[in-house]
Structure formats: C-alpha cells, structure tokens
Chains A and B, each alone.
Chain A
C-alpha cells in the first residue's frame, strides 16, 4: 500500500470518527420561540409544563438527557389537554396531542432547540467530516488507476474487513437482528404484538421447510471463513446497523447531522433538511466515491464501467436531485425510476391524492408509475433480463454495486441459502401485493377492514418490517457480515417480480463457453446473489436464474473466458437445454 493510500485511509477514518463525534456535540435549549410546534394550544401547554419542570431555558449537553426531559414535558402536556374540555369550534383531534404527535414534536424540537458548533457553522463541519472522508476515499482509490488493468482480488480473504464471518458469528447477528426487530416492532405498533408473532411464525415455517422437510442434506454447514475473525467487518457492520436504527426509528438523536446538511438542502430544494435528505445526500456521495473505486478496479472492463456510470447517474439525477428540484417547483416529490412494489408507498392514499391534485405532471407521474409496473418491467426484462433495473438503474442495487462491492464474495452459495431465498423473496412479494390491495381497497371504499385485515396496520407493519428493517438495517448493515445483496436476494419484491419474468420469458442468459471451464470457482465466489455459477459453467449449461442481476462480475473474474452475458430470442424457450461440456451424447452411444 503506497503512502498516499495510507494517508487516505487515515483521513476516511478521521472523517467518520468526527462525524460520529458530532452527535455528542449538540446543545439543546428549550426557549419560547424554539419549540417548532404549530398548534397554539399545544405550544402553550408544552411551554407551561416546561416552565413547571424547569426545562425552559435550560441548556442540555446531551441529546439523551434533553429528549428524556422533553418527552416528560410533552406527555405531561398531553395528559393535561386530554383532561381539559375541548374549546368550542375546535376539533378534538386538533386540540389533543395524539401519540404520533409526541414523536413528531420530539423530532422537531431536536432540530429547533439545537445549538452548538454544527448549528453555528454547518459547512465547516460538513467539510471536516464528509468532505474529509471523500478526500481520503479518493486518495485511497485513485492510485488504483495506475495499476496494470486486471482482476484485483489479491488478499481479499486475508482482510479483516472482507473475509466475512464464521457460522456462529453470522448466526449471532442474524438472530440478534430478528429478535431485535420483532421486539421493537411491538413498541412500534403501539403494543400490538401479533404482527411480530405472525412474522415469527412465517419465518419459522420457512426454516422448517428448508431445514426439516424432505430429503436430508445433512452436512456441516460451510463455514464462511478460515480461522481468523473479521473484526473490521464486524465493527463496520455494527456501525452501519446502528446508523440505520437511528435514521429510521430515532432520528431525534441525529439532529446535528441533519443540521450539517441543512444549507445543502436549502440550496437545492429551498426546504430545510430532513433525515431523509441527510440519507439521500450521504447515499449519493458514497455512491459517487465508491463508483470511482469500482471504475478504477474494473477499468479493463467496459461493461463494468458503463454500468457503474449508469447506476451512479440514476442515483444522483433521478433519486437525489430531481425530486428535490421538483419540490422546489412545488411539484410532487417523485423518483421516476422507483417502481412499485419496491416503491411500496406508490399506491398509498396520500401519494395518490398528491399526484392527482398536482395537475398534468402529477397525472403523468401516476400513469408513468403504473406503466412501469405493467409494461416497462415485463417488456424491458424480456429484452435484457432484470439487469436493466437491478444493476443499471436501481438505487439499492447501485449502493450494493459500489459501497457493497468489496463484500460481494460473502454471499452464501449453499443450496440451503437458495431454498431460503425462494421462500422469503416470494413471501415479501405476496405481502407487498396483499398490503397494496388492502390500501387501495381502503382508498376506494373508505373502510380500513378487508376480510380479517386492517389495512392501516398492515401498511405500517410493512413499512417497518420490510421497508426499514429488511431493506435498510439488514440490506445495508449486513454488507460486511453476509454480503452486499441481502435485501435484493432475499427480500426485494420488485426483484422477485423481475426475476419471474427473467426466468420464464426473457432473451437474457449467461452463456457458457463450450468446455473451457476449469471449475475454479471464481464466478461463484464473486457472485453477489449467491448463485453457484460454477455448477452451470462446468456442465456447459447457460445460466438462467431468476435472481441473476446481470452485474457481469462472474464473466469479468473468470480466468478462462467462459462466461458471457447475452440476449437472444432464437432459443428463448430452450435456453438451458444444451449441456456443452458433455462430451459423449447418450443418443450416440445408445444407452441401455
């Protein structure tokens, strides 16, 4: 590693440490005009209680202390208003403080009461944290352009960051996550425990179907690593998981971060930053920097270069900038490339209402979104396979292909993993469809009951379990633990839909080059979707798998030029029939 790279790495670490440290640098003071509460009844009552509790004008040095005291104040105000009579001419729900309002007030106060270094000079801190990390990242990455082009995988399994976890550690993280999510899910659903229970039962059913049914494939599970422990990977994974938990469920604790990107948000959309702006901003920056890395690594491979440019472009332009600009123009916030059911809120009442009340552009967005689902997906997938979306356009896929690339080898290739995948991804698709039907039913009929389901609860649970916990916490947090496409492979309902088209009617396949395969295993190892590519390659059978996202890395890493992604219609229904390494055809020999 040359000295420049060491410095770069040092800067990245410094940037991240400072970034984390910022969370401890918030100062919070409750003052009369910094509550961020719209309703005057609420404002008054909260101020009263704050005064009583001695919270008013007190400066806190930790977000935890501030939030706990302030929560006490709001709940006291809530109780107070609940027991006092509603004044005439005011609706009850406007007068009282609903439970969900408590959350909202906490979050807005965490922004409006904030002072301290970030508030005073957000741009300085932006440069010192994210800026430093970008600089360091580039210093680390750019020297790779001077290397001889070719596969750069030396030492991956010697790296504490990339070698992945052993089975017990992996199980620990999985179990802890499942328990944590289901447990917190009870609180999230305001004490309703049966959502967690149903989910647990479905999970148990999958485990039963995969592990305890049918023929016994008894063998020691494949350990994910040689002897050493991937400490750096574990630390990184834990950090990412923590980040997502804060982002989704405790945004009131990260107001210094949000404050830091506030000027950026204002300059683009004119609006103050939210946690989602922070997320989109970081997401895009990370994809840009790690996209440079991807291009440096694969600079001999134009497929990889063009594909990387494509995902980075779609993230930057379509997912990040365009919606913000639309917001500036008072148009609906809309990501033109996000497709239902990945975009599960598309058919939610508020989205439909916004689109329908936003004139021609809104209607266009509505039609566009539906057309993508009904026509775009099947037609384009017929021509090019699901890769057109998953590894060329999609934001989740884009992050996986850039930030996640160093971890692609950690996907589990066992037959069991494939079995689990087929159950879970289709289960999520079913869940998304049922949830959406419920939501639409409610939208048209006005009743939230559909058979035995409550569509409001259903969609909240979907958002929590699939939208946040699976796609975010597991989807990205598990990159260094179990590979970069956990979400895409086991959870994404859109991937399931695209995959069905790819499997049953598409010109796409990975062609195997005659008998050239030496069964080395590079293709399988570096398949982020956990496809055992070698299984097909060594028998000379074209690879047609619903999960294949067409990233093209198997073809890139193959040392014998065996694999090629291609499209052809001539043999569309017999793509997998020829077995090109079979040397002796049984019809020639005439088997007994």
Chain B
C-alpha cells in the first residue's frame, strides 16, 4: 500500500502522522511550498521577529525520516485517476494506491486594476512572506484591504516595523459579518488605539502604478480618495487552491466535493482541509471551513479510514480562536453575528474595553448555545460539555468560574458578569463555583 498526500499543511501532515501511528504502509507527502511542515498561522511572527522560520516548524527535521514519512518538494501538475498516478513538475511520475488531497487555499482576487503590480501581495504562502520582507525596507505606508483575520494580522505585521498602515474594510465595523456588533466595535476601537488608519465601509477602487510597474498608491472606490503607499496587502478571504483540477473528472464546486467520509467521486481519492467542500454539512456548519482545527480533525479522520476503519467526519462542536492585536478571542458553539429570533443572549463588557463575555441560549428550551469571549480565556472542555449536554443557561452562569482559564492571579469577573446577567434578564442566579482544577476535573468526569 502506498498512500500519497498532496499538501504538507496541517491537514495533510495530521493525516500522515496518524496513519503512521495506525499502520506501516508507505506514506509520501508532496508539497511545492516548503520541504517541511510549518505552522501557517504563525507566519506573522516570523516577520515580526518573534520567531525564526525554524521555530514555526512543529517537528525537528529528522522527525520525518525517523517516522518513515517520505517528503517530496515538488508541484503536482496532473492526476490520472484511472491509472492512479501523478505527474510531478520535476520528479516525474508517481503512482499511488490511495490519494489524499490536502491542497489548502489561495488568496482571493477580485480583478482589481493593478492587482498584479510589484508590491501587491496576499498573505498565505511562505512566498508571500518573502515578498513582504523584500518590500519592507524603506516602506513608509502599506494599505491592507479586507477586514478579516488575515488582514488584521498583516496590518499588525507592518505596524511592528513602524510602517504606517491604512486598513480598508468593506464592512461598517471590523469583521462584523462574523462578530456581533459590540465585539466588532471593541476591536475597531482597539485597532484605532493602535493608530492604524482604519477606514470602514469602503472598497478598493484600483491600485495605482508608480510608473515602474510598482505600487504607487490606491484609490478608494466610494470617495475617489488617493492614498499613496508602497505596498498593498490583499486579504479579501481565501478559496480552495484547486484551479488545476477544475477541468478533470474530479467533482468540484468551490472546493473538492466530498461526502461525509471525505471521499471524492474518484476511487481511493480523499480531500481534506481547506480544499474540501462537504456536500451535506451538519446543521449550522458551512461546507468549507478553512480553519486549522477542522483541517486537523479531517486529517485524523481520513487516516483512520485508510488504516481500515471507514470513519465519518464529525466536526464536533464549533470552536475557534484568534488574536486581534492585543485582544484574544475565543468562541465556543454557535455565535452568529445576528442570531435568530429563538436565541437569547447576554453581553458583558469590561471597564477597560478590552474584555467581554457573551453567552447565547435558546429562549424556549433555556439551554446554552454559545460563548463569545474577548480578553478572557475559557476552558474548551468545560464549554464543550455544557454545550453538548444542552445545559440550562442559569446552571452555566452559576458555575461560570469552572470555565475560567485565565492565568493565576488574574482578576476574575464572574461575580460582575452574573450580577449583570441577573439584572438584564431578571434572574436570580447565584454564582457558586470557584476556579479550581479539582472541581473542573470532577465536573468533566460527571455524567
């Protein structure tokens, strides 16, 4: 048996590692981007000087040989699904028994005039980072377009080198298509606190050539205002990196279509991670979820299948996290920007404007449905258990400290939060729990 994995991102590598644990079949991982797996989410820290590139590689270089995972640094140009073989750019042909496509994403481009100029880049691949690095010396202003997670990272990166940043966001508040309005407002305020030139509700009109094929500035579509700059970061979202597969027999839509078992329409071919589009996602979940965690879970799932236990992909209860400059963000469960009628909620904001807590619950049945946190850490397993058990929201509130995961000695806000909750919703909850690991462990073990 020879399993070939295209893509050495988190999903491909998790698949390879898990498969290696479960079986001794031959495993080959191919990628054109880098020889070794690195953490894409940490690219920003390399630019900012927090780490070296070596430091964002989760495994030492000897790991792969020792675990008999063959690595090929090359690009796959075509796949013959009939004869089960791949064509690689430099290496030639390679045949497989099973194939896992873990191709990841690429940055979106919306056909803006000037988007191919020197000094325009997204942030996805290592090569994008190199481009940013190359344009940074002497750079006075960068314009970042697109108000998502990668956009704010790019803005933070430039700011770390004292490069002025103009941040163009289409929405009326930062990321308010995902974040509820209050949180979105807090982050917008925090961005301004960092002296970024944040422009809300505007679109990029065009990118101006400075006469030498390089970026000279941008024009805002709505106002026609011209902003001179030496670099434009384009981060209007990502989409599956599957252009080269569109023409073949493999069934695709935006991504590679897979069933609940991550199987494509071709025999022994699977797709996982950012590039996979699930034909029938679970209720409340999207067909493509381009995040680290789902990629990791899919990688694990497909490895079990390949090891002989056909396993369906279960994404579990949604969670995610991010960091907006100095404010950490965590979400557990379902927290839409604008929840439906049946959902009630309570929101608390800390006095310094950098902390908040939001809990969502089902009005009728009274159980908790989601948590949204800024500047406060919550314990994943505790939240997950509350959500899975459909715990009544009052019960959750009275035990809130069980979930607190902030470092020791941090000021706790549970009392205030519960008092606010009682006042807002006319409840009589008494906060009882203490933050204590033994209590947590007992709670997690309880049925």
CB distance from A549 to the nearest CB of B (A): 15
Interface-side segment among B123-131, B254-262, B299-307, B358-366: B299-307
Given A219-B60, A302-B411, A561-B405, do A571 and B51 touch, yes or no (CB 8 Å)? no
Mask, A211-226, CB within 8 Å of B = 1, is 0000101111011011
> Which residues of chain B are within 8 angstroms of A217 by Cβ–Cβ distance?
60, 62, 66
Chain B: CB-nearest residue to A556: B407
Pair B60/A520 contact, Cβ less than 8 Å: no
Give the complex CA separation of A222 and B59 in angstroms: 11
Q: Find A589's partner among B39, B50, B304 (CB 8 Å cutoff).
A: B304
Pair A156/B379 contact, Cβ less than 8 Å: no
CB proximity to B under 8 Å, residues A385-441: 409, 414-415
Give the complex CA separation of A303 and B410 in angstroms: 7
Given A150-B325, A560-B321, A568-B438, do A592 and B58 touch, yes or no (CB 8 Å)? no
Given A302-B409, A520-B45, A570-B442, do A220 and B61 touch, yes or no (CB 8 Å)? yes
> Which residues of chain A are within 8 angstroms of B300 by Cβ–Cβ distance?
582-584
Pair B51/A514 contact, Cβ less than 8 Å: no
CB distance from A417 to the nearest CB of B (A): 11
Give the complex CA separation of A534 and B10 in angstroms: 14
> Which residues of chain A are within 8 angstroms of B252 by Cβ–Cβ distance?
none
Whether, in the assembled complex, B81 has its beta carbon less than 8 Å from a beta carbon of chain A, the answer is no
CB distance from B61 to the nearest CB of A (A): 5
Give the complex CA separation of A567 and B301 in angstroms: 33
Give the complex CA separation of A521 and B194 in angstroms: 25
Pair B296/A154 contact, Cβ less than 8 Å: no
Pair B438/A538 contact, Cβ less than 8 Å: no
> Which residues of chain A are within 8 angstroms of B326 by Cβ–Cβ distance?
148-151, 300
Pair B52/A157 contact, Cβ less than 8 Å: yes
CB distance from A585 to the nearest CB of B (A): 10
Pair A569/B438 contact, Cβ less than 8 Å: yes
Given A219-B61, A520-B42, A521-B51, do A513 and B380 touch, yes or no (CB 8 Å)? yes
CB proximity to B under 8 Å, residues A538-592: 538, 552, 555-556, 559-561, 564-571, 580-584, 589-592
CB proximity to B under 8 Å, residues A9-55: none
Given A306-B409, A414-B60, A567-B437, do A518 and B292 touch, yes or no (CB 8 Å)? yes
CB distance from A238 to the nearest CB of B (A): 23
Whether, in the assembled complex, A522 has its beta carbon less than 8 Å from a beta carbon of chain B, the answer is yes
Give the complex CA separation of A86 and B102 in angstroms: 91
Whether, in the assembled complex, A519 has its beta carbon less than 8 Å from a beta carbon of chain B, the answer is yes
What number of A-B contacts does a CB cutoff of 8 Å give?
A: 178
Given A515-B293, A521-B55, A555-B407, do A155 and B160 touch, yes or no (CB 8 Å)? yes
Whether, in the assembled complex, B381 has its beta carbon less than 8 Å from a beta carbon of chain A, the answer is yes
Whether, in the assembled complex, A525 has its beta carbon less than 8 Å from a beta carbon of chain B, the answer is yes
Pair B330/A222 contact, Cβ less than 8 Å: no
Whether, in the assembled complex, B225 has its beta carbon less than 8 Å from a beta carbon of chain A, the answer is no
Q: Find A514's partner among B292, B314, B380, B437 (CB 8 Å cutoff).
A: B380
Given A155-B160, A584-B301, do A219 and B62 touch, yes or no (CB 8 Å)? yes
Give the complex CA separation of A477 and B10 in angstroms: 40
Report the interface size for chain A: residues with CB under 8 A from the other chain. 66
Pair B380/A518 contact, Cβ less than 8 Å: no
Whether, in the assembled complex, B171 has its beta carbon less than 8 Å from a beta carbon of chain A, the answer is no
Whether, in the assembled complex, B441 has its beta carbon less than 8 Å from a beta carbon of chain A, the answer is yes
Give the complex CA separation of A582 and B441 in angstroms: 18
Given A219-B60, A513-B380, A568-B441, do A583 and B296 touch, yes or no (CB 8 Å)? yes
Q: Find B50's partner among A302, A525, A534, A580 (CB 8 Å cutoff).
A: A525
Most A CB contacts (10 A, CB to CB) among B58, B325, B378 go to B58
Mask, B133-176, CB within 8 Å of A = 1, is 00000000000000000000000000011000000000000000
Whether, in the assembled complex, B311 has its beta carbon less than 8 Å from a beta carbon of chain A, the answer is yes
Report the interface size for chain B: residues with CB under 8 A from the other chain. 66
Pair A515/B301 contact, Cβ less than 8 Å: no
Main secondary structure of the interface of A (DSSP, over half): loop
Given A520-B42, A584-B301, do A564 and B407 touch, yes or no (CB 8 Å)? yes
> Which residues of chain B are within 8 angstroms of A442 by Cβ–Cβ distance?
none
Pair B323/A560 contact, Cβ less than 8 Å: yes
Pair B49/A303 contact, Cβ less than 8 Å: no
Mask, B108-121, CB within 8 Å of A = 1, is 00000000000000
Whether, in the assembled complex, B212 has its beta carbon less than 8 Å from a beta carbon of chain A, the answer is no
Give the complex CA separation of A219 and B66 in angstroms: 10
Whether, in the assembled complex, B99 has its beta carbon less than 8 Å from a beta carbon of chain A, the answer is no
> Which residues of chain A are within 8 angstroms of B48 by Cβ–Cβ distance?
153-155
Chain B: CB-nearest residue to A301: B407
Whether, in the assembled complex, B206 has its beta carbon less than 8 Å from a beta carbon of chain A, the answer is no
Given A153-B48, A215-B66, A513-B405, do A520 and B193 touch, yes or no (CB 8 Å)? no
> Which residues of chain B are within 8 angstroms of A571 by Cβ–Cβ distance?
441
Pair B52/A225 contact, Cβ less than 8 Å: yes
Whether, in the assembled complex, A516 has its beta carbon less than 8 Å from a beta carbon of chain B, the answer is yes
Pair B22/A516 contact, Cβ less than 8 Å: no
> Which residues of chain A are within 8 angstroms of B57 by Cβ–Cβ distance?
521
Pair A560/B328 contact, Cβ less than 8 Å: yes
Whether, in the assembled complex, B247 has its beta carbon less than 8 Å from a beta carbon of chain A, the answer is no
> Which residues of chain B are within 8 angstroms of A591 by Cβ–Cβ distance?
22, 307, 309
Pair B66/A159 contact, Cβ less than 8 Å: no
Give the complex CA separation of A524 and B59 in angstroms: 12
CB distance from A551 to the nearest CB of B (A): 11
CB proximity to A under 8 Å, residues B66-84: 66
Pair A513/B379 contact, Cβ less than 8 Å: yes
Whether, in the assembled complex, A124 has its beta carbon less than 8 Å from a beta carbon of chain B, the answer is no
Whether, in the assembled complex, A511 has its beta carbon less than 8 Å from a beta carbon of chain B, the answer is yes
CB distance from B279 to the nearest CB of A (A): 21
Whether, in the assembled complex, B351 has its beta carbon less than 8 Å from a beta carbon of chain A, the answer is no
> Which residues of chain A are within 8 angstroms of B194 by Cβ–Cβ distance?
148
Pair B49/A522 contact, Cβ less than 8 Å: no
Given A516-B380, A592-B309, do A521 and B58 touch, yes or no (CB 8 Å)? yes
Pair A514/B384 contact, Cβ less than 8 Å: yes
Pair A514/B319 contact, Cβ less than 8 Å: yes
Whether, in the assembled complex, A6 has its beta carbon less than 8 Å from a beta carbon of chain B, the answer is no
CB distance from A463 to the nearest CB of B (A): 38
Whether, in the assembled complex, A158 has its beta carbon less than 8 Å from a beta carbon of chain B, the answer is yes
> Which residues of chain A are within 8 angstroms of B378 by Cβ–Cβ distance?
561
> Which residues of chain B are within 8 angstroms of A301 by Cβ–Cβ distance?
407, 410
Chain B: CB-nearest residue to A306: B409
Pair A561/B328 contact, Cβ less than 8 Å: yes
Whether, in the assembled complex, B297 has its beta carbon less than 8 Å from a beta carbon of chain A, the answer is yes
Q: Which residues of A contact B (CB under 8 A)?
A: 148-151, 153-159, 215, 217-220, 222-223, 225-226, 300-303, 306, 409, 414-415, 511, 513-516, 518-522, 524-525, 534-535, 538, 552, 555-556, 559-561, 564-571, 580-584, 589-592
16 pairs, A vs B, C-beta closer than 8 Å? A148-B193, A151-B326, A155-B161, A156-B50, A303-B410, A515-B319, A521-B55, A521-B56, A522-B42, A535-B58, A560-B328, A560-B330, A564-B377, A580-B380, A583-B296, A583-B316
Q: Which residues of B contact A (CB under 8 A)?
A: 10, 22, 39, 41-42, 45, 48-58, 60-62, 65-66, 160-161, 193-194, 292-293, 296-297, 300-301, 304, 307-309, 311, 314, 316, 319, 321-323, 325-326, 328, 330, 377-381, 384, 405-411, 436-438, 440-442
The 4 closest A-B pairs by CB, nearest first: A514-B380, A150-B326, A568-B437, A219-B62
Q: A580-B381, A592-B307 are in contact. List 12 more A-B contacts (CB 8 A).
A: A156-B50, A157-B52, A217-B62, A218-B65, A222-B61, A415-B60, A516-B330, A521-B42, A521-B57, A556-B407, A560-B330, A564-B407
